Amino acid sequence: MTDYLVETKGVYKWFPIKGGILARTTGYVKAVDDVSFGLKKGETLGLVGESGCGKTTVARLIMRLLDVTKGQIFVDGEDVTKIRGVRLKSFRRKLQIVFQDPYASLDPRQTVNSALTEPMRINHIVRTRSEAHDEAKRLIRVVGLNPDHLSRFPHEFSGGQRQRIAIARALAVEPEIVVLDEPTSSLDVSVQAQILELLKDLQKEFDLTYLFISHNLPVIRYMCHRIIVMYLGKIAEEADMLDIYESPMHPYTYALLSSAPIPDPDKRKGTALLQGDVPSPINIPSGCRFRTRCPFTTAFCAETEPELEEAGLGRLVRCHYKIDFVSKTAAERPRAVAQSTQQ
């Protein structure tokens, strides 16, 4: 048996596209296409990719905010894709989510106190009103606000403060896993640093497991232990944080890293490595789905789709060639290796 707290096995989510008068299904948006991974207790797993790569859909599937088309998701060893009723409710206590936009995720007509105590009461974590209030006071201090704030409404707070409230609300039911869906994307950098520090502290204090979704590579580097890079609904590469950043083996990972601007004028990039945009998830390219933008593509890539294969200890790469892009020189990279594999 594995020691994963959350494990997905061959998860698919295809959204049907209906067309015509009979609303027949004319195609599918393949948002998540055969995704399997595991999340260990106490670690932070980063899901990274460009918009439309399926990272948020994966989170929603795990949260049971969406139902899978096919596949299984295990939380604490229990397949949660079909559970209902009481079991679903107790499952929801284990998993909480913090959304990107704290302006949309808090009820504007609910005081902070009510937002924090409602989930406690529903889940019978507290017995009395005063106990709930004490608990809310404790939580609000934990996230760095003060108890005076409890009687206020969301509009009285800044973006960073609202995100703190959203985090406190997630913690109210004492979850094991918190899904963080771009938690700092709408915040200013100085406030972002505060929130990231808070999340790290909370993880230590409450022994939390994080699924951290972001398109921001520096933030992912700062927060995560393990990283999954997604491209068009599939995992392109999965590895430990340092492996991803120091020796990426999928050309997409390499391209993503080389396009992230570095706040250091001595490290200017010059030209952009990737041309064009991500293709539509409705018409996915044949063979390797990254080949239309891959700077190192070969004829072989159009014919055969690569599998997610092991490439060294604890890392998985979906590429025929699996080259270490940082340490290999430019001449070694593309064609030479391509030819040797094709023979």
Partner 1 sequence: MRESKLLESPKTLAGETPVLEVRDLRVVFHTYAGDVKALDGVDLTLRRHEILGVVGESGCGKSVTALAIAGLLPENTTVSGQILLDGRNLSELGKEEMRQVRLKDVAQVFQDPMTYLNPVLQVGFQIIEALITERRIYEKLLIDQRLQEIDQIEKQDTNTMQTLEKERASLQASLQSGAISKGQARELARDIAIQYLKLVRLPEPERVFKMYPFELSGGMRQRAMIAMALVKRPKVLLADEITTALDVTVQAQILALLRELRDKIDASIVLITHDLGVVSEVCDRVAVMYAGNVVEVADLHELFKNPLHPYTQGLMAAVPRPDRSTVKLESIKGSVPDLIYPPSGCRFHPRCPKAFAACPQRKPPPIEVSKGHQVECLLYGG
Q: Does 83 bind partner 1 (CB under 8 A)?
A: no
Establish if 215 lies at the interface with partner 1 (CB under 8 A). yes
Max CA-CA distance within the chain? 74
Q: Is 104 in the site for partner 1 (CB under 8 A)?
A: no
Q: Let me know: does 23 contact 60? Beta carbons within 8 Å.
A: no
In what side-by-side order are the strands of the sheet with 4-19? 24-40, 4-19, 70-75, 78-79
HSE, CB side, 13 Å, CA atoms: give it for residue 163.
23
Start-end of H helices in the chain: 55-62, 85-94, 102-105, 112-122, 129-142, 159-171, 189-206, 217-223, 241-246, 251-259, 299-303, 335-342
Interface residue with partner 1, options 2, 128, 130, 275 (CB under 8 A): 275
State yes or no: residue 262 binds partner 1 (CB under 8 A). Answer: yes
Subset of residues 118 to 147 that bind partner 1, contact rule: CB under 8 A: none
Q: Locate tokens 């068009």: which residue?
A: 232
- 192 binds partner 1 per the rule CB under 8 A: yes
Q: Helix 112-122 crosses helix 159-171 at what angle (to 10 degrees)? A: 20
Cβ atoms within 10 Å, residue 220: 22
Stretch that binds partner 1, among 59-67, 96-104, 251-259, 281-289 (CB under 8 A): 251-259
Q: Which two tokens stand for residue 10?
A: 């061959």
Verify binding: residue 278, partner 1, rule CB under 8 A.
yes
Q: Min. distance of Cβ 174 from partner 1 in angstroms?
A: 27
Q: Smallest gap, in angstroms, from Cβ of residue 289 to partner 1?
A: 15
Q: How far is the CB of 47 from partner 1 (least distance, A)?
A: 15
Among 46, 71, 154, 160, binds partner 1 (CB under 8 A): 160
Candidate ranges 79-87, 114-122, 261-269, 313-321; the one touching partner 1 (CB under 8 A): 261-269
Nearest-approach distance from CB 31 to partner 1, in angstroms:
16
Neighbouring CB atoms inside 10 A of 62's CB total 24
* Radius of gyration of the CA atoms of the chain, in A: 22
Any idea what the Cα angle at residue 160 is, between residues 154 and 164, rounded to 5°? 70
Among 20, 85, 108, 270, binds partner 1 (CB under 8 A): 270
Single out the segment in contact with partner 1 by CB under 8 A; choices: 88-96, 148-156, 263-271, 325-333. Answer: 263-271
Give, as one character, the DSSP assignment of residue 22: T
Candidates 40, 92, 221, 225: give the one binding partner 1 (CB under 8 A): 221
295 near partner 1, rule: CB under 8 A = no
Q: Is the Cβ of residue 271 or residue 343 nearer to partner 1 in the bound state? A: 271
Asked if 7 contacts 37 with a C-beta cutoff of 8 angstroms, the reply is yes
∠ Cα 149 150 155 (to 5°)? 65
Among 128, 130, 146, 190, binds partner 1 (CB under 8 A): 190
In angstroms, the CA 255 to CA 238 distance is 15
Choose the stretch contacting partner 1; rule: CB under 8 A; options: 123-131, 267-275, 304-312, 317-325.
Answer: 267-275
325 is an interface residue for partner 1 by CB under 8 A: no
Return the residue matching tokens 């999928």: 250
The answer to whether residue 272 forms part of the interface with partner 1 (CB under 8 A) is yes
CB nearer to partner 1: give 271 or 283.
271
- Distance, in Å, from the CA atom of 244 to the CA atom of 241, rounded to the nearest integer, reads 5
Q: Is 226 exposed, middle or buried (0-12, 13-18, 19+ CB in 10 A)?
A: buried
Residues 48-77 that bind partner 1 (CB under 8 A): 50-51
Binding site for partner 1 (CB under 8 A): 50-51, 158, 160-161, 188-194, 196-197, 215, 217-219, 221-222, 242, 245, 255-275, 277-278, 293
